[in-house]
Amino acid sequence: AQRVTQPEKLLSVFKGAPVELKCNYSYSGSPELFWYVQYSRQRLQLLLRHISRESIKGFTADLNKGETSFHLKKPFAQEEDSAMYYCALIRISGGSNYKLTFGKGTLLTVNP
């Protein structure tokens, strides 16, 4: 079975500092990885997916299959980045139903 691990429950940085939210996964097949974000009092929303290789709101994430990681990075954190971040995986295989397996989340606080 697949698993997603986010080792940090809480991460606090100052505005303008670099930020990296860690995500490791275990799955023997080919996964698709996502980062979802939940701002205060808002619904869960997709931030980015590895297959699109986009930068959203200054965030990037690279899938490292050797290290089975998908860390989320931003060079200069902003106060509005304060939110709960979830790493998630979809199993891509024959008959996949595309259900998401989530990590437990990391609460990012960006201090002024």
Q: Is 24 in contact with 101 (CB distance < 8 Å)? A: no
Q: Which of 10, 40, 43, 112 binds another protein (CB under 8 A)?
A: 43
Place of tokens 């500092």: 17
Q: Is 102 in the site for another protein (CB under 8 A)?
A: yes
Q: Please, are residues 8 and 107 in contact by the beta-carbon 8 Å criterion? A: no
57 touches another protein by CB under 8 A: no
CB 88 within 8 Å of CB 39: no
Record the tokens describing residue 5, joined without a space: 């691990």
Size of the site for another protein (CB under 8 A): 22
Kindly indicate which of the ranges 18-26, 58-66, 73-81, 91-99 contains the residues binding another protein, using the contact rule CB under 8 A: 91-99
Q: Per rule CB under 8 A, is residue 37 in the interface with another protein?
A: no
Within residues 4-23, the interface with another protein by CB under 8 A covers: 4, 9
Tokens 């940090």 identify what position?
A: 8
**Residue 33: strand, helix, or coil:** strand
Does 1 contact another protein by CB under 8 A? no
- Residue numbers of the site for another protein (CB under 8 A)? 4, 9, 32, 36, 43-46, 49, 51, 86, 88, 90, 97-105
